[in-house]
Amino acid sequence: MSGTLGLALRHLRFHRGRSLIILACLTLVLVLPITVNLLLSQYQTGLLARGAATPLLLGARGSRVDLVLKSLYFESDYGDRIIESDANALREAGFGQVIPLHIRHRVLPHANAEVARSLQLDDAPLVGTDLGYFDLRGLSAAQGSLPLFLGDAVVGARVAERFGLTLGDHLVTRPERAYDPGRSFQLKIPVVGVLAANGTADDAAVFADVRTAWVVDGIGHGHDAVDQIRDPSLVRRETDSKGVLVATPKLARLQEITPQNRADYHFHGDTDGFPLTSAILVPHSDKMRTIAKARYGSNETLFLLEPSAVIQEVMGLVLRVKRFYDTNLLLVTVSTALFMALVILLSARLRQSELETLHKLGAPRRTAFWLLAWEIIVLLAISTLLAGTLGLILNWLVSSRGLSLLSAA
């Protein structure tokens, strides 16, 4: 290559140590803003899309943001609960389809269960819901089937990859408290399906029927039929006030729901009082949406939120923070520009005799400028390219390797 660009490239190559140092400096300065912008853009798109795909959300009054993050991304410490009757009230009002969400427990591969008692092993959220959720999110099973029965679980694509799970493997619920066998109940859950990846938080979650989640809650359980048990230490022969045989605490609960014992599982108490984290309402029409929102607008204990509006608020906050970051970026850019100006100045001084020779030989006046300018342009172009590539790689790592805060890693 000839011309001032060719000479600049030769000069950069000849002084490759200096060139590499400047390149590294520029790349490091550029990689952070590029990565942050890429991630923010991706988050914004993903958040808004997921928010828009969730029409209305019923939850207990409290933090609106926590409720949305918990229900859409299975994250946050949102602890307020609604009960099944709240969801039933929505159903009975005829506003639309109601999808229950129970997001309290976490699961891990059965093989890790023993170690997990004492160690903080990687796990995944267990989402108790119904089949309507899969329709709403457009989720389908890449392998196996959806969780049609009590005790079945389907795993998101990333969970399957992370834990190396296939059909027939088992998950086990994580005890809420280590070293507390009296309180903790671990249910062994078979994997009956693996969901096709859809690039959302669903990839990093495990789904089961909401009744399975209630079993993990301890509300429902299974055990041998008490009327057939002869051991008097397991069952008291006398009946309670309703004429039902009463089991003693010694009677062991089943640890796994199988096709053979599924019928032995039952729930005690009124299902209306069973807990849910939240419920998604898919209104039949805009009119129903408006009426439902109006009805719950004045409810003192429940929210009926539009998640997209909450996410817009969150993004507004994030973008306000980003403006501070942008101000900082401006200062970094100015300092980098000054640094580059210093480099040019020193370079021009070091190359004074060379530029003088070019002047004597009759090189056009602009030659000196372009010799120096091309070096800066080339270094900036390469460092931008490197920073962009690094940013894309980091972005890919964050989005595909579950490093995101909002991916329910």
- Of the pair 13, 320, the CB lying nearest another protein is at 13
Contact at 8 Å (CB) between 72 and 322? no
Contact at 8 Å (CB) between 155 and 107? no
Contact at 8 Å (CB) between 102 and 280? no
Identify residue 248 by its one-letter amino acid code.
Answer: T
E strand intervals along 277-393:
278-283, 302-305
In the chain, what is the straight-line distance between the N-terminal and C-terminal CA atoms, in Å?
Answer: 50
- Of the pair 172, 372, the CB lying nearest another protein is at 372
Structure tokens at 250: 């010694």
Structure tokens at 264: 């032995």
Q: Are strands 188-195 and 206-209 parallel, antiparallel or unpaired?
A: unpaired
Tell the smallest beta-carbon distance from residue 25 to another protein (Å): 21
Tell the smallest beta-carbon distance from residue 17 to another protein (Å): 13
Picking from 115, 11, 7, 45, the residue whose alpha carbon sits closest to that of residue 395 is: 45
Structure tokens at 13: 């190559």
- Of the pair 196, 363, the CB lying nearest another protein is at 363
Tell the smallest beta-carbon distance from residue 382 to another protein (Å): 18
Tell the smallest beta-carbon distance from residue 307 to another protein (Å): 60
Q: Which residues pair with 305 in a beta bridge?
A: 57
- Of the pair 2, 233, the CB lying nearest another protein is at 2
- Of the pair 173, 347, the CB lying nearest another protein is at 347
The contacts of residue 395 (CB under 8 Å, 6+ apart) are 35, 38, 39, 42
Tell the smallest beta-carbon distance from residue 6 to another protein (Å): 6
Tell the smallest beta-carbon distance from residue 1 to another protein (Å): 9
Tell the smallest beta-carbon distance from residue 11 to another protein (Å): 5
Count other Cβ atoms within 10 Å, centred on residue 185.
Answer: 16
Structure tokens at 306: 């539009």
With tokens 């296939």, the residue in question is 166
- Of the pair 261, 367, the CB lying nearest another protein is at 367
**Whole-angstrom distance, CA of residue 331 vs CA of residue 128:** 49
- Of the pair 369, 396, the CB lying nearest another protein is at 369
- Of the pair 4, 395, the CB lying nearest another protein is at 4
Q: Using only C-alpha atoms, what is the Rg of the chain?
A: 31
* Residues near another protein (CB under 8 A): 2-4, 6-7, 10-11, 13-15, 353-354, 357-358, 360-365, 367
Structure tokens at 353: 């005799």
Tell the smallest beta-carbon distance from residue 378 to another protein (Å): 14
